[in-house]
Amino acid sequence: MSAQSGDEIGTDIAFKDLGDLPLSDIDCAADDALIRQAVTETINVGAIPLLLGGDHAVTFPIVAALAARHGPLNILHFDAHPDIYADFEGNPRSHASPFARILEAGHATRLVQVGIRTLNRHCREQAERYNVEIIPMLNFEAALVPALDGPLYISIDLDGIDPSEAPGVAHPEPGGLSIREVLSVLAKQQAHIVGADIVELNPARDVNDITAIVAAKLVREVAALMHHNNDQA
């Protein structure tokens, strides 16, 4: 990983910012189509997509596009919330439902969730229904998180990190992961990575850009992990 190897984006790691997608935030189907198209175009040129949210709703069309190319994925998901509601407040495409959509569509073989600390009865039932592997925060250790096989997708919701280290999120939950724990879990992953996202940064709630700095650090670390794992695959 970059913190250990000294890799630099733009020097050791080829990295191209394709800019923002013109999402409407009104027409979900049209927005999903734009995201799928962007991901498909990225993999068509031999690149690996690393997308920045936005809320967690964007993960469903990203994974759908990747699964269409690679088949069902193994997903490593960092979050305070499981995001597996059948629908949330009547919206099946809300930020609280992307993994329900992914699992019911057969886009994931395995979903491992790290950092979860708000699990109600409905979400617990959903997790049991879809065989979701939740690593509890109580007595958490990075060693408890498995190294997943490829094709691997990594999804990082910044509210999975404790608010003391990442306050700039819409739904902060005390008792979360430290940055060091997130990096330790990432460092265990050795499989071929086909894509990733980092989502739920809310600048209006950030403090002295702490969360933005964390997000930028994670972009660098995930990009470095992609670089190293995929070179070795």
- Backbone φ and ψ for 192, nearest 5 degrees, come out as -65, 125
Token code pair at residue 116: 């979860």
Closest CA to 159 of 128, 113, 193, 120: 113
pLDDT at position 24 = 85
Q: What is the CATH number of domain 48-232?
A: 3.40.800.10
Domain boundaries of the chain, sorted by first residue: 48-232
Cβ neighbours for 191, distance < 8 A, ≥ 6 positions apart? 74, 147, 148, 149, 150, 151, 152, 229, 233
Q: How confident is the model at residue 1 (pLDDT cuts 50, 70, 90)?
A: very low
Cβ neighbours for 87, distance < 8 A, ≥ 6 positions apart? 94, 97
Q: Do residues 166 and 207 lie in contact, with contact meaning Cβ atoms separated by under 8 Å?
A: no
Mean pLDDT for all residues in the chain: 93
Q: How far apart are the first and last CA of the chain?
A: 15
pLDDT at position 159 = 96
Give per-residue pLDDT as tens, 10-67. Answer: 777 888 888 999 988 788 899 999 999 999 999 999 999 999 988 999 999 999 999 9
Is residue 194 predicted with pLDDT exceeding 50?
A: yes
Q: How confident is the model at residue 197 (pLDDT cuts 50, 70, 90)?
A: very high
CA distance 72 to 152: 9
Q: How confident is the model at residue 5 (pLDDT cuts 50, 70, 90)?
A: low
150-to-36, 104, 106, 143, 226 alpha-carbon distances in Å: 21, 20, 16, 19, 12
One-letter amino acid of 133: E
Token code pair at residue 154: 């990594």
Give per-residue pLDDT as tens, 104-150. Answer: 999 999 999 999 999 999 999 999 999 999 998 989 999 999 999 99
CA distance 71 to 75: 12
